[in-house]
């Protein structure tokens, strides 16, 4: 498979293939690209960011660790259904969401009454 490394802005074009039962990455300028390529090939993951929209406030959230790419939409659905409470930045609003090991953390908020 071919993909672009998203670890840094250089954006190396990676070629990832399985040779003799080993995942081999080429096109990377550094070891981080090799690690990214291997993970993309075997178990792609992403940090998920999502907003939680209430009547008077919007909270911005993210997962504490990268989660499997195939669970992104399921997790976004779950976050959007979480109860709106009075949260502060850094609060964990859901622990171990959908048994991924990731917590959902508040990263910011916007008071909608000031729009």
Residues that bind ligand SF4 (CB under 6 A): 5, 7-8, 10-12, 28-30, 32-33
Residue 109: helix, strand or coil by DSSP? Answer: strand
Give the separation between CA 19 and CA 21, rounded to whole angstroms: 5
Nearer to ligand SF4, 10 or 65 (CB): 10
- How many whole angstroms separate alpha carbon 106 and alpha carbon 93? 7
As measured in angstroms, the least distance from the Cβ of 32 to ligand SF4 is: 4
Supply the minimum distance, in Å, between the C-beta of residue 72 and ligand SF4: 21
Provide the minimum distance between the beta carbon of 24 and ligand SF4 in the complex, in angstroms, as a whole number.
14
What's the rounded Cα separation, in Å, for the pair 106 and 4? 29
CA angle 54, 60, 61 (to 5 degrees): 115
Q: How many residues does the chain have?
A: 115
In the complex with ligand SF4, the residue whose CB is nearer, 4 or 96, is 4
Nearer to ligand SF4, 29 or 89 (CB): 29
- Do residues 72 and 66 touch, judged by C-beta distance below 8 A? no
**Cβ distance to ligand SF4 smaller for residue 36 or 109:** 36
Minimum CB distance to ligand SF4, residue 9 (Å) = 7
């Amino acid at each position: 498979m071919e993909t672009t490394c998203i670890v840094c802005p250089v954006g190396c074009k990676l070629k990832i293939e399985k040779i003799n039962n080993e995942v081999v990455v080429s096109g990377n300028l550094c070891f981080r690209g090799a690690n990214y390529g291997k993970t993309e090939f075997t178990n792609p993951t992403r940090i998920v960011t999502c907003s939680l929209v209430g009547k008077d406030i919007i909270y911005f959230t993210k997962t504490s660790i990268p989660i499997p790419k195939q669970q992104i939409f399921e997790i976004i659905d779950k976050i959007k259904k979480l109860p709106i409470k009075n949260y502060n930045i850094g609060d964990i609003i859901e622990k171990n969401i959908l048994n991924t090991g990731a917590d959902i953390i508040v990263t910011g908020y916007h008071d909608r009454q000031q729009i």
